[in-house]
Amino acid sequence: MQRDLFEEEHLLFQETVREFMAREVLPHHPQWEKEGIVPRDVWKKAGEVGIFGFSVPEEYGGAGVTDFRYNTVIVEEIIRSGASGLGFSLHNDVVAPYLVDLTDDEQKQRWLPGFVSGELITAIAMTEPGAGSDLQGVRTTAVRDGDHYVINGQKTFITNGINADLVVVVAKTDPELGARGTTLFVVERGTEGFTRGRNLDKIGMKAQDTAELFFENVRVPAANRLGATDGQGFVQLMNNLPQERLSIAVGAVAAAEAVLEQTIEYCRTRQAFGRSIGSFQNTRFVLAELATETEIARHYVDKCVTALNAGRLSVVDAAKAKWWTTELQNKVIDRCLQLHGGYGYMMEYPVAKAWVDSRVQTIYGGTTEIMKEIIGRSFGF
């Protein structure tokens, strides 16, 4: 079925992103995998071609366009190229709404121009050693002290954690209030008491810097709080999580499509018993199943993008998209690896890298189990 999500301007932008990836990313990504991090200058180069901050108002350097189709283009081009080290979607799709929608004019002036240019790399610190999908279990605290808050706690599994200049930190300003005592703060690089642990050694996404963060009596100005009062953090997180989960779903379908396309071509050329393995009925049936499910997922996700643009994407719909597409991504890539045989287990083949990179998809942004719980609760049982 023909895809009708994009208009001409999105397709032109797609060419820009594709050219940027070919020129500035793909020749270097294998080395970044070895080093475990993407150089900061790549972010600045991405900023120069307009990859960051479409929703940022023009007066702060952005395009002033609230259209998630541009974000979709970026995610799809990165995923299809296999460049799993770029934390651009975290910057654009996850952090941007906090810095655009929850900041006052002074905060916007401080942070948004650098966000758009790529000079300020961002992260969001939700997960803790004892609190993952359950955000109400956050133990990091922020205690008011005059014109500052004193933050103490630890975060882990933080994407862009090593490179980040601005970190949106989830903390409890009143632990006795539970979720209603949660507040968000922006902690800036170089703040005394804010330190980073090791760049975590993951099974996949090797070029993506994922870190532990430590906060020991970190004094953050009250001017770095997001929101007019304490206690708004949990609602702010819940409002923005659907876009984050949709971004993950967009990437999941793009990954499934890319690996499936590579596998179909492999099955055309790989010979067994004197003929291509694609000529065997089992191969055709496997590919037929994967192609059907992937295309169905594509159209649901595109519908979610349209709904988000219209302000109608619900928490439940985003949860459906997130768990289904990421589980499908793992299924598609696993079965495609099987069709590659022993070559699928070799890292020189893209399917092998895609396989290890994909495993985290059903975990971060809310596990599959949490997504099903969100959907199940909507039935009113």
| Backbone CA torsion sign across 310, 312, 315, 320 | negative
* Eight-class DSSP state of 345: G
- The answer to whether 52 touches 90, Cβ cutoff 8 Å, is no
Active site residue 77: no
DSSP H helices in the chain = 8-20, 29-35, 40-48, 68-81, 88-89, 96-101, 105-117, 233-269, 281-309, 315-340, 350-358, 368-377
* H/E segment holding residue 225: strand 225-226
- The answer to whether 219 touches 148, Cβ cutoff 8 Å, is yes
Active-site residue identified among 33, 76, 244, 257: 244
- The answer to whether 339 touches 283, Cβ cutoff 8 Å, is yes
Ordered DSSP codes for 233-247: HHHHHHHHHHHHHHH
Ordered DSSP codes for 152-190: EEEEEEEETTTT-SEEEEEEES-GGGGGGGEEEEEEETT
Active site residues: 244
